[in-house]
């Protein structure tokens, strides 16, 4: 059974400026006897909880959310002039037309363009009607009686203010992609509900594009994750190595003797900076022809140790929930990843207690 000390780690009072994960790392280093002589770093993608983003489905989501908010306001404040029109059935038909046209070969291109033209027309009409409802609520034309009704109108009005600019952004990127052929729109939106989502390619054959946020995982011996970070914008991997070495030095009070990573972390500046702070073995392969040091035995052993980071990330995704974030927003992504890493490090401590109990039992027999 896990020791009482392990189970109480999550409830230990934090020191000033110390996070939960930092406190767990502080307790795990002596418990696991981690010396901090080696460090390995890798990056992965934690996906946001969204469906596969296409322009047609994003437009359908926008029309659905905006129409629902308008109908709630109409039901609460009454009908003023024209009823709010429900275009959801026509929207579903246009989306299916686009799906069928996209499955065709070259002859399906005109049908695809025509389907997007009709879908954009529905989106524009919905946006115009929503702007009218927003103006009527803001100017006091639409009023609700009762505190509960006023709260409902206020929430629906807030939904319209949030989602109208996002739907208009999806309309812009759809026009640019379909009619101009530009698939690399700079401010492309991949979800109306999780606008911070990025499209990230990590070179996976099974999943070429992942939609989420880039996360850095940094380990020491025994698989202890001593640091992680969720990036608002994806940086180049080679820019993350020097801060990782600095973080390792901050945790253990000295730089690691060995640093390992994949080829994305290599650069001449990184190698020079690592040698200057005291790193003896720089086990990161070059992107070009292999250098003489890469043929030595210590370098190959360092690369084999680095591959354990891939398994660690796999465990974090399968066991600790880092495959897909269930919280909302970028701050929710940070909390989700943080608690997953804390759960992983606590599991290492529990496993340590189990190993000790097994050893004591076998010694008694």
CATH number of the domain residue 352 falls in: 3.30.420.10
The reported pLDDT for the residue numbered 363 is: 47
On whether residue 192 sits in a domain, the answer given is no
Q: How far apart are CA 246 and CA 158, in angstroms?
A: 44
On whether residue 20 sits in a domain, the answer given is yes
On whether residue 347 sits in a domain, the answer given is yes
Task: Identify which of 32, 16, 29, 33 has the alpha carbon closest to the alpha carbon of residue 250.
Answer: 29
Asked if 277 contacts 306 with a C-beta cutoff of 8 angstroms, the reply is no
On whether residue 109 sits in a domain, the answer given is yes
Where does residue 235 rank: exposed (0-12), middle (13-18), buried (19+ CB within 10 A)?
Answer: middle
Q: Domain limits at 119? A: 55-180
In this structure, the answer to whether residues 104 and 143 fall within a common structural domain is yes
Asked if 284 contacts 259 with a C-beta cutoff of 8 angstroms, the reply is yes
CB atoms within 10 A of CB 64: 16
Last residue of a domain, one of 124, 151, 180: 180
SS3 112: helix
Residue-wise pLDDT for 65-111, tens only, equals 999 999 999 888 887 777 889 999 999 999 999 998 888 766 668 88
The reported pLDDT for the residue numbered 287 is: 76
What pTM was computed for the model? 0.86
Asked if 223 contacts 306 with a C-beta cutoff of 8 angstroms, the reply is no
| Cβ burial 150-160 (10 Å sphere, 16+ → b, else e) | eebbeebbebb
Q: How far apart are CA 188 and CA 182, in angstroms?
A: 11
In this structure, the answer to whether residues 215 and 342 fall within a common structural domain is yes
On whether residue 191 sits in a domain, the answer given is no
On whether residue 189 sits in a domain, the answer given is no
For the chain, what is the domain count?
2
On whether residue 187 sits in a domain, the answer given is no
Asked if 56 contacts 98 with a C-beta cutoff of 8 angstroms, the reply is yes
In this structure, the answer to whether residues 120 and 214 fall within a common structural domain is no
Q: How far apart are CA 349 and CA 168, in angstroms?
A: 50
Query: In the predicted model, what is the mean pLDDT of residues 173-177?
Result: 92
On whether residue 16 sits in a domain, the answer given is yes
């Amino acid at each position: 059974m896990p020791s009482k000390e392990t189970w109480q780690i999550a409830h230990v009072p934090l020191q000033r400026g110390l996070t939960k994960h930092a406190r767990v790392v502080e307790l795990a280093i002596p418990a696991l006897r981690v010396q901090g002589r080696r460090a390995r770093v890798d990056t992965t993608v934690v996906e946001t909880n969204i469906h596969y983003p296409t322009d047609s489905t994003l437009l359908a989501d926008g029309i659905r959310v905006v129409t629902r908010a308008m109908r709630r306001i109409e039901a609460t404040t009454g009908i003023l002039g024209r009823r709010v029109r429900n275009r959801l059935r026509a929207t579903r038909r246009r989306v299916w037309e686009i799906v069928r046209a996209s499955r065709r070969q070259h002859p399906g291109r005109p049908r695809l363009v025509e389907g997007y033209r009709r879908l954009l027309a529905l989106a524009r009409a919905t946006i115009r009607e929503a702007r009218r409802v927003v103006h009527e609520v803001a100017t006091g034309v639409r009023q609700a009686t009762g505190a509960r009704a006023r709260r409902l109108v206020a929430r629906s009005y807030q939904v319209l203010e949030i989602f109208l600019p996002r739907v208009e952004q999806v309309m812009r990127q759809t026009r640019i992609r379909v009619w101009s052929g530009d698939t690399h729109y700079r401010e492309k939106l991949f979800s109306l509900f999780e606008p911070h989502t990025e499209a990230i390619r990590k070179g996976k054959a099974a999943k070429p594009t992942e939609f989420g946020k880039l996360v850095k995982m940094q380990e020491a011996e025994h698989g202890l994750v001593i640091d992680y970070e969720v990036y608002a914008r994806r940086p180049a991997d080679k820019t993350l190595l020097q801060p990782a070495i600095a973080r390792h030095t901050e945790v253990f009070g000295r730089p690691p003797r060995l640093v390992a990573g994949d080829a994305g972390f290599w650069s001449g500046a990184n190698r020079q900076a690592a040698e200057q702070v005291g790193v003896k073995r720089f086990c990161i392969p070059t992107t070009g022809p292999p250098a003489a040091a890469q043929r030595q035995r210590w370098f190959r052993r360092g690369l084999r140790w680095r591959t354990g980071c891939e398994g660690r990330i796999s465990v974090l995704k399968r066991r600790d929930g880092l495959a897909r974030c269930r919280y909302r927003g970028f701050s929710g992504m940070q909390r989700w990843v943080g608690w997953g890493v804390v759960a992983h490090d606590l599991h290492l401590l529990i496993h340590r207690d189990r190993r000790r109990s097994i050893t004591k039992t076998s010694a008694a027999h």
